[in-house]
Amino acid sequence: MFRGAFTIWGRDMRVLRRSLFSELLAVVAYPITLYLAFGVGLKGYINDVDGIPYGMFIAPGLISMTAVSAAFDESAWSMWFHRRVQHTIEEYRVNPISVYDIIIGKIVSGFSQGAIKGIVVAGVIFLLTPFRFPAVHLLAYLFFIIFGSMAFSCIGTMCGTVVDKPENIGRIQGVVIVPLIFLSGIFFPLSSYPHAVLSIVKLLPTTAIFEGARLALLKGVMDFQYCAIAVFTAAVAFAAAVWIFNRKIEG
Amino acid sequence: MNTAISLQGIIKTYNGLRAVDDFSLDVRSGTIFGLLGPNGAGKTTLIRILTTLLRPTAGTARVEGYDILASAKSVRRLIGVVPQENNLDRYLTARENLVLHARMHGLQAGDYNPRIDELLELTGLAGRQHDFPDTYSGGMQRRLVVIRALIHNPRVLFLDEPTTGLDPQSRRAVWDYIQTLRSRMTIFLTTHYLDEADTLCDRIVIMDHGKALVDGSSTELKEAFAHSHRYLLTFRANEERYEQTLRSLPFVRELERSGAVFRLELAEEEYLKPLMDSIGGPDIRSICLEEPTLEDVFIELTGRKVRE
């Protein structure tokens, strides 16, 4: 069972291993730049947010952002490339594996890449900063990284499945993914929103992932609503990705 | 002999357009079957249905007795597929491509490694097995795709235009290799190259607009269409005079001249004697019956117009 999914995941990890250093360098550069620009650059202007030093306030969100962005990128581009350029999805489909093997293999690959890259960024931020957290907080934080990466990997897979022109994947990133990430309070407290808007923002899956992760890491609090939204989003995204892939591929 | 492939009343429509129109076919085990047709005839659609990549709109298709819809996984276990495009993974080496395919089929390393070694050796790729496919020539990539389809010892091999874009030497190499597989598996081949079908196939179906037009061996098809009575006539001298004479004969239907050589078509076979009586004997260097080629059969059935 899931032999095909495991084989596809193994293939993707082998390819990642070949270019691990350059991949990690590229993926670490962006959040570290943001951290230095905002966390260090603005330190003199913003001392703390709700009693938390600003550098410490943005660190969990930057790690989560790296993980979910990497999961989305890997899944979307990999699925698109295998489907439209290499046509390897067709090669997979003439083997005795199911459509579920292919989609699960691709989603788990995206999730794995997101998790690996998130952990590396976390390591670099922890190296650069004096902030330390109890191990139990890290475990709670991992919960949001896992479900966030899973959800964004599924969303990326959907994009890679339905989008035929590569520039449209970039447009989806620019118009949907980036606003979702940035509006969910990575760089500012959610309390900055007007009350009417806040109730809507709190329902966004990215808010659940980023704010939930921050609460988990900094305070050790597992907010039930955020946990439920993160799990629900991952489950719905997974079901939708499988359904869309099945429909698209089976013709 | 057993039936390896069976299609009954297959229909496939795309947005109201019938790509395959009530197509039925049985292919016997252990034979090389060729499906010919112009672009858009429906060949690739049929292969995609048989290899479980496409669902037919109507009809049933079986491979080695397994229904392509109800037992798709069982079908895929028994088939090897060489698609029109080289769908190799360019981020894996040649050997890794083969290993990935073997693992998809659930083979164990102890089984697939010797098989991969054997196939790489047989096709002359062993020395380049750790290189990436992008560094291969077109012919080498094609050979790699063919051996990838053979790792799991399929019972039916589907080859969709396997030599398109290859130079003559590479085409011959692929043909030679296909010939060696003849007795071991059923081969279902589509091609644009009529000499390829003529050389390789035990049986040929020419299709167009989603329907089968003729069915038979290459020899049978040529014989069935050998009613055109074409002759090649070569003169030693006085070609201009003979051209005038030939053009005046009412039973000469078509006449083409190339120097001293005339290609002509008689209305009926019995007009050969009146022809010889009309042109006499001393200036004739040779006269020979021009046998129809598979290409003549193909053009006669599908027309000369270029398809989009």
Q: How confident is the model over A201-233, as pLDDT tens digits?
A: 888 899 999 989 888 888 888 999 999 999 999
Chain B environment of A98 (Cβ under 8 Å): 73
Distance CA B5, CA B27 (A): 5
Which residue out of A18, A89, A95 would a mutagenesis test of the B interface target, given it has the greatest number of B Cβ atoms within 10 Å?
A95
Q: How many CB atoms lie within 10 A of CB B251?
A: 16
For strand B32-36 and strand B203-208, is the pairing parallel, antiparallel, or unpaired?
parallel
CATH: 3.30.70, 1.10.760, 3.40.50, 1.10.287. Which one for B230-290? 3.30.70
Cα B155–chain centre separation:
19
Contact B104 A95 (CB under 8 A): yes
Residue from the list B76, B87, B100 with its beta carbon closest to the beta carbon of A7: B100
Residue B141 forms contact with A (CB below 8 Å): no
CATH: 3.40.50.10300, 3.40.50.300, 3.30.360.10, 3.40.630.10. Which one for B3-219? 3.40.50.300
Chain B environment of A95 (Cβ under 8 Å): 76, 101, 104-105
Q: What is the model's pLDDT at position B33? A: 94
Q: What is the model's pLDDT at position B271? A: 83
Chain B environment of A87 (Cβ under 8 Å): 83, 85, 87
Contact B83 A87 (CB under 8 A): yes
Model confidence pLDDT, tens digit, residues B117-158: 999 998 889 999 999 999 999 889 988 999 999 999 999 999
Residue B291 pLDDT more than 80? no
CA distance B151 to chain A (A): 12
Cα A212–chain centre separation:
14
Residue ranges per domain, chain B?
3-219, 230-290
Residue B105 forms contact with A (CB below 8 Å): yes
CA distance A92 to chain B (A): 8
CA distance B50 to chain A (A): 10
Distance CA B115, CA A100 (A): 28
Quick one: average pLDDT of B287-293?
78
Residue B227 pLDDT more than 70? no
- The closest of B5, B49, B57, B50 to B29, measured between CA atoms, is B5
Residue B261's H or E segment, with its range, is strand B261-266
Chain B environment of A94 (Cβ under 8 Å): 51-53, 76, 79, 81
Q: Which residue of B has its CA nearest to A248?
A: B54
Contact A18 B51 (CB under 8 A): no
Contact B87 A88 (CB under 8 A): yes
- The closest of B286, B289, B274 to B231, measured between CA atoms, is B289
Cα B265–chain centre separation:
28
Please state, rounded to an integer, the average pLDDT across all residues of chain A: 87
Higher model confidence: residue A247 or residue B113?
B113
The confidence band for B296, taking pLDDT boundaries of 50, 70 and 90, is confident
Task: Judge contact between B65 and B142, C-beta under 8 A.
Answer: no
Residue from the list A11, A18, A98 with its beta carbon closest to the beta carbon of B100: A11
The confidence band for B253, taking pLDDT boundaries of 50, 70 and 90, is confident
Contact A11 B53 (CB under 8 A): no
Rg (CA), chain A: 18
Residue A246 forms contact with B (CB below 8 Å): no
